[in-house]
């Protein structure tokens, strides 16, 4: 734990505000953001669950290429917080959400479809569960003029009471597929003018076969 008190004064940049946390840009390191729990009764429980799931990912040496990394806890002038990798574009600005691009940049849809297909396969192949998957929890990061990718910045883990079945990869894979396909259906409903073809974006039996082949190779 970082014992140094981080002063979150009134002029600190607020990156985002959700039901369970408020996200601030670290005042001394613009590569880090700080998530503080809100007053919601479930906020601190969510924060603990997120930390525990990241610890599982580290233990399993999971590939975190497309997930905002967890960097530890901290003490701030507004209370205890958690540190995360701050996802920004090459120009230093906060990477904008998937919803933002689907709503405002139709010329980007084909590129986004390619990235979405890759992200779904990534979650399945690495057995990473996302409990709250929607277009505002994913950002489209521009690393350079010719390098872009989608990054998941919130909602990591499986926020259910009974998690023992997750020990079995087949059950975990089923959850990942159902939640991913539900997420794509939500995107299609929220952005009816965008071309988001299910045959390209849905996960299914073919994705399971690929995942099983990868598991056998390890």
pTM: 0.87
Reported as a single tens digit per residue, the pLDDT across 56-83 is 999 999 999 999 999 999 999 999 999 9
pLDDT band at 143 (very low <50, low <70, confident <90, very high): very high
Say what the pLDDT of residue 3 is.
Answer: 58
Residues 6 or more apart in contact with residue 105 via CB below 8 angstroms:
none
pLDDT band at 210 (very low <50, low <70, confident <90, very high): very low
Q: Collapsing DSSP states into helix, strand and coil, what is residue 134?
A: coil
Reported as a single tens digit per residue, the pLDDT across 157-174 is 886 554 655 567 788 899
Residue 26 near residue 6, CB atoms below 8 Å: yes
Say what the pLDDT of residue 167 is.
Answer: 61
């Amino acid at each position: 734990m970082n014992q140094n008190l981080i002063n979150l004064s009134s002029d600190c940049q607020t990156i985002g505000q959700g039901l369970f946390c408020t996200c601030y840009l670290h005042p001394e390191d613009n590569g880090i953001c700080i998530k503080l729990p809100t007053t919601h009764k479930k906020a601190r429980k969510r924060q603990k669950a997120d930390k525990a799931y990241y610890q599982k990912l580290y233990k399993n040496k999971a590939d975190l290429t497309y997930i905002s990394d967890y960097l530890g806890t901290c003490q701030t002038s507004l209370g205890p917080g958690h540190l995360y990798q701050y996802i920004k574009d090459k120009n230093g600005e906060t990477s904008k959400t998937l919803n933002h691009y689907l709503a405002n940049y139709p010329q980007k849809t084909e590129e986004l479809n390619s990235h979405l297909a890759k992200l779904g396969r990534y979650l399945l192949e690495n057995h990473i569960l996302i409990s709250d998957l929607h277009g505002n929890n994913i950002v489209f990061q521009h690393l350079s003029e010719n390098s872009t990718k989608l990054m998941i910045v919130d909602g990591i883990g499986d926020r259910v009471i009974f998690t023992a079945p997750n020990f079995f990869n087949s059950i975990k894979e089923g959850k990942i597929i159902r939640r991913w396909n539900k997420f794509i259906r939500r995107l299609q409903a929220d952005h009816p003018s965008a071309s988001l073809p299910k045959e390209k974006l849905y996960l299914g039996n073919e994705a399971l076969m690929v995942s099983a082949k990868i598991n056998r190779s390890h």
